[in-house]
Amino acid sequence: MTMQARLKADPASANDHAARIEAGLGQAARFVRMHSIASIYHAGSGHPGGALSSADLFACLYGAEMNVSPRGVDDPRRDRFVLSKGHAAPALYAVGAYYGFCDAKDALRLRKLNSPFQGHPHVLDLPWVETSTGSLGQGISVAIGMAIGLRIQKNPARVYTMLGDGELQEGQVWEAAMAAAHHGLGALTAVIDYNKLQSDNSNDAIMRLEPLADKWRAFGWDVQEIDGHDIAAILAALRHAGTTPQPSVIIAHTVKGKGVPYMENIPLWHGSVKFTPQQAQEALDALGASEAEKKDFLDV
Amino acid sequence: MSDATATATAPALIAANGDSLREAFGKALSALADEFPKLVVLDADIAGGTGVHHFRKSHPDRFVQFGIAEQNMMSAAGGMAAVGLVPVVTTFAVFCLRAIEQARLSLGYARRNAKIVASHPGLDVGPDGGSAQALEDLAAFRAIPGMTVISPADATEMALATRAILEFDGPVYMRTGRSPSVRIFGDDHTFTIGKGQVIREGDDLTLIACGTQVARALAAADLLAADGISARVVNMATIKPIDAGLVEKCARETGAIVTAEDHNIHGGLGGAVSEALAATHPCPVEFVGVKDVFGASGEPEELAHHYGIAAPHIAAAARRALARKRTRA
């Protein structure tokens, strides 16, 4: 049963229920952040900034919004998720581990030879990641193909994709934006992890994106702007996105490196980053990790 | 992946004599649509040019318009394949090159059962000129791991190959052609992915050709016969995986080889044949193709003569190969 269905079934306890669910998703997001830091630490490289900025979005998608489950990875009716910003793979693996799509210890073997947890998601290694990404701009197009293909087959499943902000500089994204609106893909929800920073500097310094909401509106999308770290706001936005006849984009304003003060809003932590043991410890401390959690994540 | 050597059974002959390869492809696709219910066709505003206007008319519910945006189309094909359809991406060969990184990641790397069918390859494009004449596509797509690369020779073979790629499970790049084609094969022709065919026997050397160059290779064999040279002709419709066994057999039996393709001499059929020979039975090889330059406007036959890929050029290359073979002996 989806969260919405549960709320509908028992309106009296809806507020309590919602608070419990939000607290649970907050815990999932905290796990995603800690696991991402740990896997990138063990790998000796990776992209922590965007993994931390997108953690709350991942938690809401996998923990509440999407009709997906580890037992249903072959179910044709499952919702599809495409990580267009493939470099946030550590966060995807972490949320997958939290919700049982993969083993949490295995997923710490990030970027290692013979590990299925490559630097960017690969569907032949991990079927539950749905497709291979890592070249910016392509994921949203793959998601569009899925949405059109599902509609041709009269399959009501929804399709979700997450994009980075720097990724929006790829021309292909705007080809895709035009096509999704033209084809009336109401089943498609795109979430933009808008942390304002990209590899080398701020979006504004590299290639300006604003006015971003106006751009998507002009392309014919339903547009919502939210605080991408506010669980209730994320859930509400995802819920609304499921009701629009046209494709929906959620511009989630986020903080790169969210949760780890020495990383927040510093482009250096986009990637590819090598954590020292002290930095990894400090990051987990900032996220409120217990000694047992630190041991689990770092002493592997 | 299914058996790469699965032989296509002959469909009703759809192609008319003289049909261009793109028309033959478009008609075949439309005729096969009911038999392949998962087939969907993707177009980037050139259905009339690629031949899929037939499919658009016969099966509009499975025809998806992407506008002039090939990168999005190529990746979207990956999404359609991911949900169980068999997408056929259609555009001109140069625009396949534009979207080759999308073909690499969203189709090749993800090993999707998607087909890329490219019209307007090579000098065969004619008057549109050098910008439109893809002379690099066979090399580029051949370098994508797991990508099958096919270039049928006539309208009959195109109809058979269209069925074969739909029966085959895996990513495929296939060339059609713009200009009216010469009918080479009869109704008894067969097509098997990964298999070349000896279509004219000969002992002195072997001409190995693909696509529109097969007809020119046969014409070259006639020119050589007039001089008492017995040239074997092989139709090598699958460039990848190359029929290494047949290449080796021809090298052993005839001792010299000429490759002929409407493509840059680097990296296409000549490259594939040479790689196979180097690993098996090296022998003198001459390459007929466009010599690492871009094309230009002109009629296809004029261009073939201008750039040195016409029948007399194949015959001349054969004489050079034969001379090298005799020097070695």
Nearest CA distance, B283 vs chain A (angstrom): 40
Nearest residue on chain A to B62, judged by CA atoms?
A152
Please report the pLDDT score of residue B11 as a whole number: 37
Check if the beta carbon of residue B230 is closer than 8 Å to that of residue B180. Answer: no
Residue A6 scores a pLDDT above 90: no
Best mutation target, A74, A133, A142, to test chain B (most B CBs within 10 A): A142
pLDDT tens digits, one per residue of A27-83: 999 999 999 999 999 999 999 999 999 999 999 999 999 999 999 999 999 999 999
pLDDT tens digits, one per residue of A116-130: 999 999 999 999 999
Check if the beta carbon of residue A56 is closer than 8 Å to that of residue A229. Answer: yes
Cβ–Cβ gap A149/B66 under 8 Å: no
Nearest CA distance, A106 vs chain B (angstrom): 22
Q: Which of A25, A86, A82, A79 has the alpha carbon at shortest distance from A229?
A: A25
The per-residue pLDDT of chain A, averaged, comes to: 95
Q: Which of A154, A28, A162 has the alpha carbon at shortest distance from A100?
A: A28
- The pLDDT-based confidence of B10 (bands split at 50, 70, 90) is very low
> What is the mean predicted confidence (pLDDT) over B302-317?
98
- The pLDDT-based confidence of A270 (bands split at 50, 70, 90) is confident
pLDDT tens digits, one per residue of B173-221: 999 999 999 999 999 999 999 999 999 999 999 999 999 999 999 999 9
> What is the mean predicted confidence (pLDDT) over B87-94?
98
How far, in Å, CA of A50 to CA of A37, rounded? 11
Q: In chain B, which residues have their Cβ closer than 8 Å to the Cβ of A138?
A: 71, 75, 78, 102, 105-106
> What is the mean predicted confidence (pLDDT) over B29-37?
97
Starting from the edge strand earliest in sequence, which strands make up the sheet with B285-290, in order? B197-200, B231-235, B205-209, B257-264, B285-290
Name the residue among B71, B77, B79 with its Cβ closest to that of A175.
Answer: B71
User: Can you tell me the ipTM of this complex?
Assistant: 0.94
- The pLDDT-based confidence of A107 (bands split at 50, 70, 90) is very high
Residue A181: what residue type?
A
Tell me the percentage of chain B whose pLDDT exceeds 90.
93
Answer whether the bond into residue B241 is a cis peptide, omega within 30°. yes
CB atoms within 10 A of CB B65: 15
DSSP state of B188: T
Which pair of structure tokens corresponds to residue A255? 């903080």
Q: In chain B, which residues have their Cβ closer than 8 Å to the Cβ of A145?
A: 75-83, 87
Check if the beta carbon of residue A128 is closer than 8 Å to that of residue A99. Answer: no
Distances (CA, A) of A197 to A115, A136, A226: 29, 15, 17
CATH number at residue A23: 3.40.50.970
pLDDT tens digits, one per residue of A26-42: 999 999 999 999 999 99
Distances (CA, A) of A7 to A18, A58, A63, A149, A234: 8, 21, 15, 31, 16
Please report the pLDDT score of residue B19 as a whole number: 86
Cβ–Cβ gap B77/A132 under 8 Å: no
Which pair of structure tokens corresponds to residue B204? 């002195």
Cβ neighbourhood burial of B16 (10 Å; 0-12, 13-18, 19+): exposed
Nearest CA distance, B176 vs chain A (angstrom): 24
Lowest mean pLDDT across A145-159, B15-29, B92-106, B226-240: B15-29
Residue B248 scores a pLDDT above 50: yes
Structure pTM?
0.94
Cβ–Cβ gap B87/A145 under 8 Å: yes
How far, in Å, CA of B170 to CA of B146, rounded? 8
Please report the pLDDT score of residue A185 as a whole number: 98
Residue B4 scores a pLDDT above 80: no
Cβ–Cβ gap B109/A146 under 8 Å: no
Establish if B100 touches chain A: CB-CB under 8 angstroms: no
Best mutation target, A82, A141, A159, to test chain B (most B CBs within 10 A): A141
Q: Which of A47, A23, A28, A37 has the alpha carbon at shortest distance from A286?
A: A37
Cβ–Cβ gap B71/A133 under 8 Å: no
Asked about B157 being catalytic, the answer comes back as no
A125 Cβ contact list (under 8 Å, min separation 6)? A116, A117, A118
Going by DSSP bridges, is the β-strand pair B172-175/B148-150 parallel, antiparallel, or unpaired? parallel
Question: What is the sign of the dihedral through the CA atoms of B239, B244, B249 and B251?
Answer: positive
Which pair of structure tokens corresponds to residue B105? 């990641």
> What is the mean predicted confidence (pLDDT) over B229-249?
98
Cβ–Cβ gap A131/B77 under 8 Å: no
- The pLDDT-based confidence of B253 (bands split at 50, 70, 90) is very high
Cβ–Cβ gap B72/A141 under 8 Å: yes
DSSP state of B310: S
How far, in Å, CA of A162 to CA of B133, rounded? 37
Cβ–Cβ gap A152/B40 under 8 Å: yes
> What is the mean predicted confidence (pLDDT) over A279-299?
95
pLDDT tens digits, one per residue of A195-215: 999 999 999 999 999 999 999
Residue A136 scores a pLDDT above 60: yes
Strands (E) across B186-235 are located at 191-192, 197-200, 205-209, 231-235
How far, in Å, CA of B318 to CA of B322, rounded? 6
B227 Cβ contact list (under 8 Å, min separation 6)? none
Please report the pLDDT score of residue A11 as a whole number: 61
Going by DSSP bridges, is the β-strand pair B7-8/B191-192 parallel, antiparallel, or unpaired? antiparallel
Nearest CA distance, A286 vs chain B (angstrom): 37
Establish if B59 touches chain A: CB-CB under 8 angstroms: no
Among the listed residues B23, B35, B70, B248, the single catalytic one is B70
Name the residue among A80, A132, A152 with its Cβ closest to that of B105.
Answer: A132
Please report the pLDDT score of residue A9 as a whole number: 61
Tell me the percentage of chain B whose pLDDT exceeds 70.
95
Instruction: Supply the Cα-derived Rg of chain A in whole angstroms.
Output: 18
A63 Cβ contact list (under 8 Å, min separation 6)? A24, A25, A28, A95, A98, A99
Going by DSSP bridges, is the β-strand pair B197-200/B231-235 parallel, antiparallel, or unpaired? antiparallel
- The pLDDT-based confidence of B13 (bands split at 50, 70, 90) is very low
Residue A14 scores a pLDDT above 80: no
Name the residue among B69, B80, B109 with its Cβ closest to that of A148.
Answer: B80
Establish if B189 touches chain A: CB-CB under 8 angstroms: no
Reported as type and span, the H/E element at residue B167 is helix B155-167
- The pLDDT-based confidence of A269 (bands split at 50, 70, 90) is confident
- The pLDDT-based confidence of B15 (bands split at 50, 70, 90) is very low
Reported as type and span, the H/E element at residue B134 is none
> What is the mean predicted confidence (pLDDT) over B48-69?
97
Q: In chain A, which residues have their Cβ closer than 8 Å to the Cβ of B80?
A: 145-146, 148-149
Cβ–Cβ gap B76/A80 under 8 Å: no
Residue B5 scores a pLDDT above 80: no
A252 Cβ contact list (under 8 Å, min separation 6)? A57, A191, A192, A193, A194, A226, A227, A228, A234, A237
Q: Which residues pair with B192 in a beta bridge?
A: B7
Q: In chain B, which residues have their Cβ closer than 8 Å to the Cβ of A179?
A: 66-67, 69, 72, 76
Answer whether the bond into residue A211 is a cis peptide, omega within 30°. yes
Instruction: Report how many domains make up chain A.
Output: 1
Please report the pLDDT score of residue A1 as a whole number: 47
Count, residues in chain B: 329
For tokens 């050098």, the residue is B130
Q: Which of B187, B192, B240, B196 has the alpha carbon at shortest distance from B214?
A: B196
Instruction: Supply the Cα-derived Rg of chain B in whole angstroms.
Output: 19
The per-residue pLDDT of chain B, averaged, comes to: 94
Establish if B106 touches chain A: CB-CB under 8 angstroms: yes
Name the residue among A147, A153, A179 with its Cβ closest to that of B72.
Answer: A179
Please report the pLDDT score of residue A268 as a whole number: 85
Please report the pLDDT score of residue A267 as a whole number: 84
Residue A190 scores a pLDDT above 80: yes
Interface of A with B (CB under 8 A): 76, 80, 82, 122-124, 130-135, 137-139, 141-150, 152-153, 155, 171-172, 175-176, 178-179, 182-183
Best mutation target, B83, B89, B101, B116, to test chain A (most A CBs within 10 A): B83
Give me the domain span that covers residue A254. 3-298
CB atoms within 10 A of CB B253: 14
Residue B17 scores a pLDDT above 80: no
Cα-based angle A255, A258, A261 (whole degrees, multiple of 5): 110
Residue A105: what residue type?
K
- The pLDDT-based confidence of A13 (bands split at 50, 70, 90) is confident
Residue B1 scores a pLDDT above 70: no
Nearest residue on chain B to A77, judged by CA atoms?
B83
CB atoms within 10 A of CB B305: 15
